[in-house]
């Protein structure tokens, strides 16, 4: 084992871990990145349409532009409008506008990107910018040493680091090995996800319909072929476990007919659907984001209900805030001080916990059949639609830019 102690090791090289590594590199600090995933095949990835998309906020896009990843994306689908409505109520909110032709950059609220396309761009930039980027690496054991963390790898090598960043997902090995407890809320729900082709084009609008069974989101997708532009969507349908099992087992013909009916023919008929994926929905919150010389970011620290599509965005904000406080110390000749990590935890944990609980509450209200709650949620949607200040507050929360204020990444 090399006795040299590294400044920082990041376990996890996906969007959040990769972004953290690139933000640190931009600030003059090279991280060692350990990723369990292999390097993606460029041509194979581009030719395959991923049925799932990530809804990236303006803040996340801004951060990806900062590290020169955004322009490397092979495809992405901007959206200029969002529509939220109740199928059996009068409540509806509309943000932004639909767009029929060339997009005005000022109209864009965010963008939908396939995870594989995003990971391809992140990997490409890390290969170029990160000196010690290791893929297909398995970490077998982690222990706290004297002033450092020691990582034991499957290839029998060991690494020592002053700062260990866990960006290794919801089932974080780093969190487990650091013995940080996890609070779990089981919604007894599952999400069904697939790509669908619709009769009418999405016109750059993302929609979410609140049904008796749970919210159904239609998310615009970029298409592989120009003649199909605007007719592909990714859906995420949140359902009670028993409904999810039933709907996942339907034939393709029955499933597209069900979607057409439940969406009120919003985009005409649903013409086709790719194979469906079903995943359980549970909120997870690490009781601590930090220990001495260790920090958790992204899904390793928190997993929220997918209702607002904000999980990946708050993870990117974690990376930005952590890198900002670390680089501020680095400029003063200090690295990963306890007070620095506490500052990160204080700035992110309360915000993320509030987001998690609010999404849980909204999800419960939207599935509750009790008349007073049905009336309240419809009335609430209508009030937000009619009061511009409330709509502005919702948009400010969704775009995430306010969370970057007073950091080196703030939008001027």
At 355 the pLDDT is 76
Distance CA(93)–CA(101), nearest Å, equals 23
Q: Answer whether 0.85 is exceeded by the pTM.
A: yes
At 197 the pLDDT is 94
Tokens of 412: 């001027």
Tokens of 360: 């849980």
Percent of the chain with pLDDT over 90: 69
| pLDDT averaged over every residue in the chain | 88
Q: Where are the beta strands (DSSP E) in 288-377?
A: 290-291, 294-296, 302-303
Q: What is the pLDDT of residues 258-272, one digit of tens each?
A: 999 999 899 999 999
Tokens of 121: 């761009």
At 305 the pLDDT is 79
Tell me if 222 sits within 8 A of 77, measured CB to CB: yes
Q: Is the pLDDT of residue 391 over 80?
A: no
Partners of residue 93 on adjacent β-strands: 84
Tokens of 100: 């029929």
Question: Which phi and psi angles does 279 have, rounded to 5°?
Answer: -140, 140
* Nearest one of 265, 255, 296, 17 to 133, comparing CA atoms: 17
Distance CA(26)–CA(8), nearest Å, equals 14
HSE on the CB side for 216, CA within 13 Å?
20
Q: What is the pLDDT of residues 121-173, one digit of tens each?
A: 999 999 999 999 999 999 999 999 999 999 999 999 999 999 999 999 999 99
Query: How is domain 5-49+114-184+283-368 classified at the architecture level of CATH?
Result: 3-Layer(bba) Sandwich (3.50)
Distance CA(71)–CA(76), nearest Å, equals 10
Tell me if 6 sits within 8 A of 32, measured CB to CB: yes
Structural domain boundaries in the chain: 5-49+114-184+283-368
At 362 the pLDDT is 54
> Which SS3 state, helix, strand or coil, does residue 197 take?
strand
Tell me if 57 sits within 8 A of 400, measured CB to CB: yes
Distance CA(41)–CA(119), nearest Å, equals 11
Cα 151 vs. chain centroid, distance in angstroms? 27
Determine whether 34 is exposed, middle or buried from the number of CB atoms within 10 Å of its CB (0-12, 13-18, 19+): buried
């Amino acid at each position: 084992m090399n006795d040299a102690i590294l400044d920082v090791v990041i376990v996890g090289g996906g969007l959040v871990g990769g972004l953290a590594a690139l933000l640190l590199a931009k600030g003059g600090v090279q991280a060692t990145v350990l990723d369990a995933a292999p390097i993606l095949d460029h041509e194979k990835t581009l030719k395959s349409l991923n049925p799932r998309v990530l809804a990236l906020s303006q803040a996340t896009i801004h951060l990806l532009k900062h590290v020169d990843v955004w322009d490397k994306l092979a495809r992405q689908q901007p959206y200029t409008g969002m529509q939220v409505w109740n199928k059996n109520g009068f409540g509806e909110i509309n943000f932004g506008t639909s767009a029929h032709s060339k997009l005005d950059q000022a109209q864009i609220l965010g963008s939908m990107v396939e995870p594989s396309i995003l990971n391809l761009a992140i990997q490409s930039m890390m290969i170029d910018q990160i000196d010690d980027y290791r893929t297909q690496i398995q970490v077998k054991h982690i222990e706290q040493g004297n002033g450092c963390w020691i990582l034991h790898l499957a290839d029998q090598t060991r690494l020592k680091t002053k700062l260990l960043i866990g960006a290794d997902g919801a089932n974080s090995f780093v969190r487990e090995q650091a013995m940080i407890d996890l609070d779990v809320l089981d919604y007894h729900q599952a999400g069904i996800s697939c790509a669908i082709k619709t009769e009418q084009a999405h016109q750059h609008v993302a929609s979410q319909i609140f049904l008796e069974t749970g919210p159904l989101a239609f998310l615009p997708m970029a298409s592989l072929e120009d003649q199909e532009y605007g007719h592909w969507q990714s859906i995420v349908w949140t359902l009670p476990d028993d409904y999810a099992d039933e709907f996942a087992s339907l034939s393709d013909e029955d499933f597209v007919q069900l979607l057409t009916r439940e969406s009120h023919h919003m985009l005409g008929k649903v013409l086709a659907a790719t194979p469906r994926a079903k995943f359980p929905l549970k909120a997870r919150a690490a009781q601590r984001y930090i220990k001495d010389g260790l920090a958790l970011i992204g899904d390793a620290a928190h997993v929220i209900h997918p209702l607002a599509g904000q999980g990946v965005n708050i993870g990117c904000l974690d990376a930005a805030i952590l890198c900002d406080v670390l680089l501020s110390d680095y400029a003063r000749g200090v690295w990963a001080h306890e007070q620095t990590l506490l500052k990160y935890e204080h700035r992110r944990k309360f915000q993320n916990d509030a987001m998690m609980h609010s999404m849980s509450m909204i999800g419960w209200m939207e599935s509750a059949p009790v008349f007073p709650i049905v009336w309240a949620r419809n009335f609430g949607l209508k009030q937000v639609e009619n009061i511009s200040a409330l709509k502005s507050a919702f948009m400010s929360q969704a775009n995430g830019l306010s969370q970057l204020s007073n950091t080196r990444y703030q939008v001027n």
